[in-house]
Chains A and B, each alone.
Chain A
């Protein structure tokens, strides 16, 4: 018995002594090690808050596990380092964002990402950055259409950082619902030249059309029945897009929603399969145009958004997409002289776009060409008008 107590006490004393020594060394070195860790990341922190004093915070309060590190910039705000997995499952998107003390997202920097170039990689572009920076913590952030997978992942990461910020800065943050997916409005009169839709064969009123979806994938083929300028049925006969991603866009549900559509109809893209949806739209457009007896080869449609040039004797009409909607331009030509220009664009902003509609026609007649200065402050509408005029001049030659 005495022996056992002796052994126990001896081992306990040795253990206690070594624990004491270790805690002393730890006290000595912990601040230095901490400072070194910070120094390693300081360079990237400085990008967000130049010249601030940084200290590292715990990320324990982050329930999602997406936030890998949190730093406090003394008196300025908080920085969060976040990793999310987007489309490329082998390399996460690694980004840092800063939230000012007042709850404004002040910075967003993507450190590494290997998302598909030109598609998912857009989450690193200014286009997306600008939709993030300046938002308050309770504002929702939209995902990027066409890069849904990558941007949804990033938005989830941002939301995780916002929640952590709420906990650390003592601010209440609304629990954001799932990322808001903005569905852009597509109409069948849009430009789908990128999808290279081609009518392969026509059998009665059934059109077989091929069009590519995701760049680089092989073409999808659709059998489309058109009657009286409207879609009667759409079926996907060959699927060449990414399996598992493009499929929802050609599901029976999705395709049946396009029944009844005409060239001016608005159509919904399937979120997450935008590229494939666009191939459907391109095919529908090609079939409808073919049915209407128009050119079917989307590639010959030169003007980015100019279509339907109607030639009526000496009077020509063309439409182009302005700021709010279509702008229709009618030009009366006498040989190559521009005699009269009329512009109708009731969707342009009153006082801004309408300025161009008022002023440009006279200038075009005076200059006898589309080579006139745009109306300052109404650049978009002006450009649309000039594009339409140029289109007419090209056609008239």
Chain B
């Protein structure tokens, strides 16, 4: 598996949410709006990349017996640091994501990649894996929240998390009477997720032809 394939794998074939069904708890909970999805996705990408790099860097000196506690300490420190930075510089996003930031510590994507990839590969590969997987996660969140936000509010809004200014607002007001508020609840999250998971299963199980297309 070359680096490029490795990087792209995170989007479809090994997409952590729809392909591997990892990190679903936070994905379902925070994918109510595009803002949350972007914030959470980038947050996870950052932590995942950093933790992959650190764990890869210390993989040779880490005693095998205590590797899991070491990974946890590394990940927890990164999450706590990111959490404090978010609280300081992106208070609105921090308030929206709430407890799910702290829960990144036990997000199985991160620990899973540390164990499955970073502990066996070099720093550069691990970083690429982290970015790829993180963006794959972000991409999944965006897909779910794109559907959910539109069905629940008949509009899409993207705001700048640093100063809360609206960057983009697309609203289809004629659909306003038809919005389905259920999609802002967990029921809507499961329905949306199930549809996408089915779609991805179809894509994944197609013969290699499809994959080559993706790779180009």
Contacts and interface: CB of A to CB of B under 8 A. Distances in A.
B199 interface: no
Contacts of A14: 70, 73-74
Interface string A1-28: 0000011001100110011011001101
Contacts of B70: 10-11, 14
Contacts of B61: 10
Given A10-B70, A11-B66, A14-B70, A25 B76 contact: no
Contact of B77 (A6, A11, A22, A33): A22
B73 A18 contact: yes
A22 B66 contact: no
B85 A18 contact: no
B80 interface: yes
A25 B85 contact: yes
Contacts of A7: 63, 65-66
A13 to B, nearest CB: 10
B162 interface: no
Interface residues of A, number: 18
B87 A33 contact: yes
A173 B216 CA distance: 78
A10 B66 CA distance: 9
Contacts of A26: 84
B128 to A, nearest CB: 24
B63 A10 contact: yes
Interface of A is mostly: helix
A26 B80 CA distance: 9
B87 A18 contact: no
Contacts of A32: 88-89
A30 B85 CA distance: 9
A29 B80 CA distance: 12
Contacts of A21: 77, 81
Nearest to B64: A7
A14 B63 CA distance: 12
Contacts of B65: 7
A237 interface: no
Contacts of B74: 14, 18
Contacts of B87: 29, 33, 36
A33 to B, nearest CB: 5
Given A29-B85, A33-B88, A36-B91, A10 B62 contact: yes
B177 interface: no
Contacts of B81: 21-22, 25
B69 interface: yes
Contacts of A29: 84-85, 87-88
B84 A25 contact: yes
Interface string B78-101: 001100110111010000000000
Interface in B149-179: none
Nearest to B70: A14
Contacts of A18: 73-74, 76-77
Contacts of A33: 84, 87-88
Contacts of B66: 7, 10-11
B43 to A, nearest CB: 15
Interface string A112-148: 0000000000000000000000000000000000000
Interface string B38-75: 00000000000000000000000111011001100110
Nearest to B75: A18
A305 B84 CA distance: 66
Interface in A195-244: none
Contacts of A22: 77, 80-81, 84
Nearest to A35: B88
Nearest to B87: A33
B18 to A, nearest CB: 33
Contacts of A30: 84
A11 B69 contact: yes
Contacts of B73: 11, 14-15, 18
Contacts of A28: 84, 88
22 contacts: A7-B63, A7-B65, A10-B61, A10-B62, A10-B66, A10-B70, A11-B66, A11-B73, A14-B70, A15-B73, A18-B74, A18-B76, A21-B77, A25-B81, A25-B85, A28-B84, A29-B87, A32-B89, A33-B84, A36-B87, A36-B88, A36-B91
Interface of A: 6-7, 10-11, 14-15, 18-19, 21-22, 25-26, 28-30, 32-33, 36
Given A6-B63, A19-B77, A21-B77, 10 more contacts: A7-B63, A10-B63, A10-B66, A18-B77, A22-B77, A25-B80, A29-B88, A32-B89, A33-B84, A36-B87
